[in-house]
Amino acid sequence: MHINTYLALGDSYTIGEAVDLHESFPYQVVQLLRKKGYNFFAPEIIAKTGWTTDELTEGFRNYEFLPKYDFVSLLIGVNNQYRGREVIEYKQQFEELVKKAIELTHGRKDRVFIISIPDWSATPFAKENDIEKISREIDVFNSVNKAISIQYKVQYVEITSDSREARNFPALVGKDNLHPSSIAYSKWAEKIADLFASELK
């Protein structure tokens, strides 16, 4: 019996900063799929709070990857924006990460999922900042990762609009006033799990 493997690549949003590990979106995805009757190992996660695209790449250096993964997700870029890094640099580094993700699924592009960057300007943490500027810049970074998803024919999961609902729904923000709550992650997880399930039918 085949048991599916899922590798989640990213930053604080992938590890579920401010929530318990089992409430992070990769774990919620696997829980939802198990409920649907699909066999999955616990997700493997390569992610750290604060990581930019190049730091994620650096995180691969001594990592023992499995020979192949059934699914790979990639959500990275908020820290590139936060630190004022160049969009062109993000494009180059993100493209290399997408190529790596495709390689890890043995070329199964339909099993690679790029997740859009959440808009942290919608959180209480951002209130001292230029909210419109942050939102605009997140849109630019997302236009880049979406274009790369189209170029490489991988799947794209848009969760930025969901993250912006936090402006009106405080329950979508975690206890640190910056990261999503488990409720917010569950919305992402449902979208992602549905896409995974459609690949397994």
CB 9 within 8 A of CB 47: yes
Note the pLDDT of residue 156: 98
Does residue 68 sit within a domain?
A: yes
Apex CA 113: angle with CA 108 and CA 119, to 5°? 165
Note the pLDDT of residue 72: 98
Q: Domain total for the chain?
A: 1
CB 184 within 8 A of CB 26: no
Output the tens digit of pLDDT for each of the chain's 201 residues. 899 999 999 999 999 999 999 999 999 999 999 999 999 999 999 999 999 999 999 999 989 999 999 999 999 999 999 999 999 999 999 999 999 999 999 999 999 999 999 999 999 999 888 999 999 999 999 999 999 999 999 999 999 999 999 999 999 999 999 999 999 999 999 999 999 999 998
Closest CA to 66 of 88, 81, 44: 44
Q: Which pTM value belongs to this model?
A: 0.97
Burial class (CB in 10 A: 0-12, 13-18, 19+), 66: exposed
CA separation for the pair 111, 61 (Å, rounded): 23
Does residue 1 sit within a domain?
A: no
Taking only the tens place, the pLDDT of each residue in 91-118 is 999 999 999 999 999 999 999 999 999 9
Does residue 180 sit within a domain?
A: yes
Note the pLDDT of residue 87: 98
Residue 55 domain boundaries = 6-200
Give the CATH number, domain containing residue 44. 3.40.50.1110
Does residue 99 sit within a domain?
A: yes
Apex CA 147: angle with CA 142 and CA 153, to 5°? 125
Token pair belonging to 67: 């020979």
Taking only the tens place, the pLDDT of each residue in 66-77 is 999 999 999 999
Does residue 43 sit within a domain?
A: yes
CA separation for the pair 28, 56 (Å, rounded): 22
